[in-house]
Amino acid sequence: MEMTYGEAACLALRQEMQRDARVWALGEDLGTIGGIAGQYRGLQEEFGRSRICDTPISESTIMGAAVGAAICGTRPVVELRYADFALCATDEIVNQAAKIRYMFNGQARVPLVVRQPIGIQKGCAAQHSQSTEAWWVHVPGLVVVAPATPADNYGLLKAAIRCDDPVIYLEHKELWPARGEVDSQQQSLPLGKAEIVLAGEDVTIVTWSKMRHVCLVACRTLAEQGVRAELIDLRTLWPWDRDAVLQSVRRTGHLLVVHEAVRVGGFGAEIAAEVSEALWRSLKGPVRRLGGPRSPVPYAEPLENMMRISPEQVAQTVREVLKEKK
């Protein structure tokens, strides 16, 4: 069944709420407009105002209350609207959700999902465009997921809801209208499992979220030029599928990591370091990273474009990588 990335998430949540009465969602604008991107459309009509719970603009308490509700027998899905606003709830995510199971030695688990859409969205500027995945991956206790396709948003949201750990769930705002096939009978996708989007022998490209689509365009260009790139979409960033990446790089000997988030201190650095440590003997050239410049995201189109990674940049970087042989 073809549907959008947003509709796929909505279907997944609907099915999980039908399956498990403990699942509920809370956040701003879920009922009136079905969520800022329509990703909750129709759910309040079906499940009522207590299970699709509109809230005041109180991020700290949205998150703190979700933690309290999670340790007392329910499974909340928290909508924080933008990753940028999730920063208002960082304390509750980092100090409470991620720590409670550990500091109380397993007396409680914190089964909740924190949806906080990331990424540059046309004209949204500095406070509505950030990609913060690396911040969350750094926090022990959290699982971090970043789906790139409707099928993955469906299968991974289901998995996130079923997970007993707090899951940071990062949808990309420019992917809401993206269309694709979804098997609506499918149960869930495994967390921590990458997808080999394209198989190839010459170079490994590791990416996630919207950059999967950008890289795919680049790979097609490269294929026309005789370069066969292997494209890996990590899908889950913690835990990331190290086996899939290492296996691929062992074959290709070249690695490029691509993400929209700021390159400096980005999660690409972790992947690059791990691969360099594990495979330095089989690498044929330096591991490369492509990420956003260390700048806030500006408003005007030519300025905003400076922050975006283009397929041309990816293809060009791959060509450079292949030239930089040892």
Give the nearest distance from C-beta 60 to another protein in angstroms.
Answer: 4
Among 1, 33, 103, 199, binds another protein (CB under 8 A): 103
If you compute the radius of gyration of the chain from its CA atoms, what whole number of angstroms results? 20
Q: Which is nearer to another protein, 10 or 98 (CB)?
A: 98
Of the candidates 133, 149, 127, 18, the one whose C-alpha atom is nearest the C-alpha of residue 81 is 127
CA nearest 119: which of 270, 309, 313? 309
Catalytic residue among 128, 213, 254, 259: 128
Our finding on whether 278 is near another protein (CB under 8 A) is no
- Residue 125: strand, helix, or coil: coil
91 binds another protein (CB under 8 A): yes
Backbone phi and psi for residue 194, each to the nearest 5 degrees, phi listed first? -80, 165
Q: Determine the interface stretch with another protein among 34-42, 88-96, 224-232, 247-255 (rule: CB under 8 A).
A: 88-96
**Element counts in the chain: helices (H) and strands (E):** 13, 14
Helix locations, 31-165, DSSP H:
43-47, 59-70, 83-86, 90-91, 100-103, 133-137, 150-162
Confirm or reject binding of residue 104 to another protein (CB under 8 A).
yes
Q: How far is CA 69 from CA 35, 112, 242, 247, 291, in A?
A: 21, 9, 34, 41, 37
Based on the shown chain and the rule CB under 8 A, indicate whether residue 71 belongs to the binding site for another protein.
yes
- Yes or no: say if 83 and 118 are a contact pair by the CB < 8 Å rule: yes
Which burial class, exposed, middle or buried, applies to 311 when counting CB atoms under 10 A from its CB (0-12, 13-18, 19+)? middle
Binding mask 167-196 for another protein (x = CB under 8 A): ------------------------xx----
Q: List the x/- string, 115-154, binding to another protein by CB under 8 A.
A: -------------------------xxxx-----------
In the complex, the smallest distance separating the C-beta of residue 300 from another protein, rounded to whole angstroms, is 34
> Can 128 be counted among the known catalytic residues?
yes
Stretch that binds another protein, among 87-95, 170-178, 286-294, 315-323 (CB under 8 A): 87-95
Q: Interior CA angle at 24 toward 67 and 4, to 5°?
A: 115
* Residue of the chain from 92, 171, 202, 304 that contacts another protein (CB under 8 A): 92
Residues lying near another protein in the complex (CB under 8 A) are found at: 22, 24, 50-51, 55-56, 58, 60-61, 63-74, 76, 91-92, 95-96, 100-108, 140-143, 163-165, 191-192, 238-239, 242
* Residues with active-site annotation: 128
